[in-house]
A and B are shown apart, each in its own frame.
Chain A
Amino acid sequence: MTLADARAMLPALVLAEADIAAEAGLLAAIADWCRRFTPLAALDAPDGVLLDVSGASHLFGGERALLHEIAAALQAQGFAARAALAPNPALAWALARFADVELVPADMQECGLHKLVADLPIAALRIEAGTIAALAQAGLRRIGDLLMRPRAPIAARFGADVVARLDAILGVRGDPLSPRFETPAYLVERRFAEGIARRADIEVTISGLAHELCILLERHDEGAREIDVSLFRVDGIVKHLSAGTSRPLRDPKLIARLFRERIEAAGEEDLDTGYGFDVVRLAAIKIERARMPQSALAIGMEASGGNHSADLADLIDRLGARLGLWRVLRFEQQETHIPEFAVAAVPAAQTRKRSGQKSDAEFSFSASADLLPTRPLKLFEPPEPIDAIAPVPDGPPARIRWRRVWHDIAAIEGPERIAPEWWKHEEAALTRDYFRAEDSFGQRFWLFREGLYTTETAQPRWFLHGLFG
């Protein structure tokens, strides 16, 4: 129906443009909320959510009770939603949209299943609209019409997809879900009859959950590298807090402390407790095998004040949780001689790539070289353009102007020529001549002239790249 027709029939029609991004966001939020029932929740764009509740339904008092709970909760949030539960996703999808039956038990006999499916319209197969129309032209309107006919001619005439979907709806062929979030390796949660809203309560709950999680981890000799807290608010909004760790972690106190920092960093308004959270879940997303001393021994070590490297790792984790992992960095040498790329700053919490092999001798610049420092203490990123006066175009500068101040060069060493990496086909790159210069006040600069005079450029440009102490 066109808009003009619709308006002619109902002049009071209210119009609103579809906001596809907002709708997708809302659906994602609903899928998030559904994770309170099972960790395996998948988005089913544009208008559905698929949950794998295998082994989870008994927690909610059976399958029927679970369905009712989902439907009632969604209705309470103001959504008109239908829910159906079936042995396979394709059938559940079809039932939720085209049938009054909302529950198909997993142990249903094959004949019963065929009978149920046969009554559904062809659209329930979830095939393209063109194929549905073609099937309708051939007089095939119900799935039953397809089931009673030989499969080969149908596949030949309407495409293999029809047969594949038929198999999927009957559960003959698997129809995988792609969950929105990775299934956590370990998961503990606590449910409350009424939402908890005070920050102290949330922190105590997380601390309690951390104890349970650590018991699980300890039993399997593993430690968490990435931990996630999901807070399910009463009105359907889900908050996620996650924290990465620099080593496999299995200490409830440290986990609780990490999330205290995380909550602190998130702040009151961002956490937005609202009516309170009724489900708090702690999940170890990434785990790593970790042989650790038994708890009693660990406590003994703590008392003697021994483990300094563990202390440092905790510090890195806490800073990372509060400021973000990309603000707590360490340096890693790169295989290039271009000064600004010679060293990369990577999050300190990340494990080293080549573990152990080149840990300390990683930096080839060593202080024992019988030379004065040739690299500055501080580097500008990007290099700052300066004006320079040089007696000859390819000689060292006599005066430079940096940040609108002229500096007279009193001592200078150079050039140190650094050529571009021609094997990387960087056409714009020019050769740089680096100078170490000291001005009349004792300020020490690292300058370079970009481009070789006459061979590469007629107008070499000058930059200040760093400062020596």
Chain B
Amino acid sequence: MSLAGSSERIGFLRETLARIEAQTFPAKIAFSLQDSPDAATQGVVWRSLNSDRIALGAPGFSLDRMLGGGMQRCALHDIVAAHPRDGAASAAFAAALAVRFGKANARGAFVWIVEEAGAREEGLPYAPGLCLHGLDPARLILVRTLHVRDTLWVMEEALKCRGVSAVLAETWLKAKDYSLTVSRRLALAARAGGTAGLLRHAAAAGEADAIVSAAATRFEIAARRSRPAPAAGRGPPLPGPAAWGVRVARMRAGAAGLGRALDWQKFSDVVWDHEETCFRDALSLPMVAAPRNRPARTGAPAQLVAIGPRAFSYATSNMDKDQRRAASRVA
């Protein structure tokens, strides 16, 4: 069955579902978008019409297009590490998402819930590090809970609070104890409070596809080698900015509405620009690195852009802008 056929039946069903979900999902807009097959324009239209979504990066960011214009603000999102060693990477990705949500709601606080087991295993959030990650520690409230039960309760209460922009809970909840009921409660609380809920399953690394939940999206995060900067003398290179492999393992009312299939197994590599607090495609990394106080390598960006076929039009336009900016900075 082709989606481009846009039978009325599907439209009707989709509208009914949207009503049941009581989301601010604009069924009609999604419907009309199918007329324009160009994925790029879709992203733009989505962003302009759907203020309920938060774009993760600059216009044309691959993950935003994949998610249909960004992440839903008033919803629950699951974050799972791809491997036990990727725990810190997934926490940093979640914190970066919280920064994006915090940007959209400048007055709101950010609640970070850490279980005692997690604090022993992975350490506690460190304010200077958060600051350098782009998250204002003055707006952070850290809640340390003893049990999973407390974590879920605190998360629900915090999600309902209108003075909070995002809630990040790192839970050691077993994947089998996490159910539709539990996640549904959290999702409803997030919708009621207009808050973003980020639930990181620290105990379920690598089980992203086994989790059953009512979350809007589920991300699987893997740590990636950052693009290293060459060291001054001999010896190993210097580490670059944080980079992750991000897989959208599940998306509610997303891909189908966009009228194209999503590759559920694809990891897209992204980097976090802590200075501008936005995500970028790992492809354009050299362009990001250029303005920094590291030696810029001329010529490299043009070679790299050719690799990404879908991002091509954007990357080139971006590149022009970035290069112009870089040039003006140098000048």
Instruction: Name A residues whose Cβ lies closer than 8 Å to a Cβ of B.
Output: 305, 308-316, 318-319, 322-323, 327-331, 333, 339, 342-343, 345, 348, 359-360, 362-363, 365-381, 396, 409-413, 436-438, 440-444, 466-469
Cβ–Cβ contact A375 & B128, under 8 A: yes
Judged by a CB distance under 8 angstroms, whether B96 is at the interface is yes
Q: How far is the CA of A466 from the CA of B124 in the complex (A)?
A: 9
* B152 / chain A contacts, CB cutoff of 8 Å: none
Q: How far is the CA of A345 from the CA of B130 in the complex (A)?
A: 14
Cβ–Cβ contact B144 & A367, under 8 A: no
* B161 / chain A contacts, CB cutoff of 8 Å: 311-312, 314-315
21 residue pairs from A and B, CB less than 8 Å apart? A309-B107, A315-B163, A318-B157, A330-B141, A331-B137, A342-B127, A345-B124, A348-B141, A363-B128, A367-B277, A372-B274, A375-B128, A378-B125, A379-B129, A380-B123, A396-B235, A410-B237, A411-B238, A412-B236, A437-B239, A469-B242
Cβ–Cβ contact B88 & A467, under 8 A: yes
User: Given A362-B138, A443-B85, A469-B93, is A379 in contact with B225 using a C-beta cutoff of 8 Å?
Assistant: no
* B129 / chain A contacts, CB cutoff of 8 Å: 373, 375-379, 466, 468
Judged by a CB distance under 8 angstroms, whether B164 is at the interface is yes
* B209 / chain A contacts, CB cutoff of 8 Å: none
Give the one of B96, B146, B239 with max A CB within 10 A. Answer: B239
Query: Which of B122, B142, B154 is within 8 Å of A345, CB to CB?
Result: B142
* A468 / chain B contacts, CB cutoff of 8 Å: 88, 92, 129, 242
Q: How far is the CB of A217 from chain B (nearest CB, A)?
A: 23
Q: How far is the CA of A305 from the CA of B128 in the complex (A)?
A: 34
> How many residue pairs bridge A and B at CB < 8 Å?
212
* B243 / chain A contacts, CB cutoff of 8 Å: 442
* A323 / chain B contacts, CB cutoff of 8 Å: 143-146, 150, 154
Cβ–Cβ contact B131 & A367, under 8 A: yes
Cβ–Cβ contact A343 & B85, under 8 A: no
Cβ–Cβ contact A469 & B145, under 8 A: no
**Mostly helix, strand, loop or mixed at chain B's interface?**
mixed
Judged by a CB distance under 8 angstroms, whether B39 is at the interface is no
User: Given A315-B157, A333-B127, is A328 in contact with B141 using a C-beta cutoff of 8 Å?
Assistant: yes
* A313 / chain B contacts, CB cutoff of 8 Å: 163
Judged by a CB distance under 8 angstroms, whether B9 is at the interface is no
Q: How far is the CA of A316 from the CA of B143 in the complex (A)?
A: 10
Q: How far is the CB of B217 from chain A (nearest CB, A)?
A: 19
Closest 6 interchain pairs by CB? A469-B92, A312-B163, A442-B223, A378-B123, A373-B132, A467-B88
Query: Which of A363, A370, A380, A409 is within 8 Å of B127, CB to CB?
Result: A363
Judged by a CB distance under 8 angstroms, whether B133 is at the interface is yes
* A410 / chain B contacts, CB cutoff of 8 Å: 225, 228, 236-237
* B130 / chain A contacts, CB cutoff of 8 Å: 377
Q: How far is the CB of B317 from chain A (nearest CB, A)?
A: 25
* A368 / chain B contacts, CB cutoff of 8 Å: 275
User: Given A375-B132, A442-B223, A467-B122, is A331 in contact with B109 using a C-beta cutoff of 8 Å?
Assistant: no
Query: Which of B123, B226, B241 is within 8 Å of A467, CB to CB?
Result: B123
Q: How far is the CB of B197 from chain A (nearest CB, A)?
A: 14
Q: How far is the CA of A368 from the CA of B275 in the complex (A)?
A: 6
Cβ–Cβ contact B242 & A376, under 8 A: no
Cβ–Cβ contact B150 & A372, under 8 A: no
Q: How far is the CB of A303 from chain B (nearest CB, A)?
A: 13
* B224 / chain A contacts, CB cutoff of 8 Å: 442
Q: How far is the CB of A380 from chain B (nearest CB, A)?
A: 4
Query: Which of B125, B131, B153 is within 8 Å of A363, CB to CB?
Result: B131
Cβ–Cβ contact B131 & A466, under 8 A: no
Judged by a CB distance under 8 angstroms, whether B126 is at the interface is yes
Judged by a CB distance under 8 angstroms, whether B140 is at the interface is yes
Judged by a CB distance under 8 angstroms, whether B108 is at the interface is yes
Cβ–Cβ contact A443 & B89, under 8 A: yes
User: Given A311-B161, A331-B137, is A443 in contact with B223 using a C-beta cutoff of 8 Å?
Assistant: yes
Q: How far is the CB of A445 from chain B (nearest CB, A)?
A: 9
Query: Which of B141, B163, B272 is within 8 Å of A311, CB to CB?
Result: B163
Q: How far is the CB of B55 from chain A (nearest CB, A)?
A: 19
Q: How far is the CA of A360 from the CA of B228 in the complex (A)?
A: 34
Give the one of B95, B137, B224 with max A CB within 10 A. Answer: B137
Cβ–Cβ contact B131 & A372, under 8 A: no
Q: How far is the CB of A465 from chain B (nearest CB, A)?
A: 9
Give the one of B163, B235, B240 with max A CB within 10 A. Answer: B163
Additional 18 contacts, C-beta under 8 A, given A311-B163, A444-B88: A308-B107, A315-B164, A319-B154, A323-B143, A328-B141, A342-B128, A345-B124, A363-B138, A370-B275, A375-B126, A377-B92, A377-B133, A378-B122, A441-B85, A442-B243, A444-B242, A469-B133, A469-B272
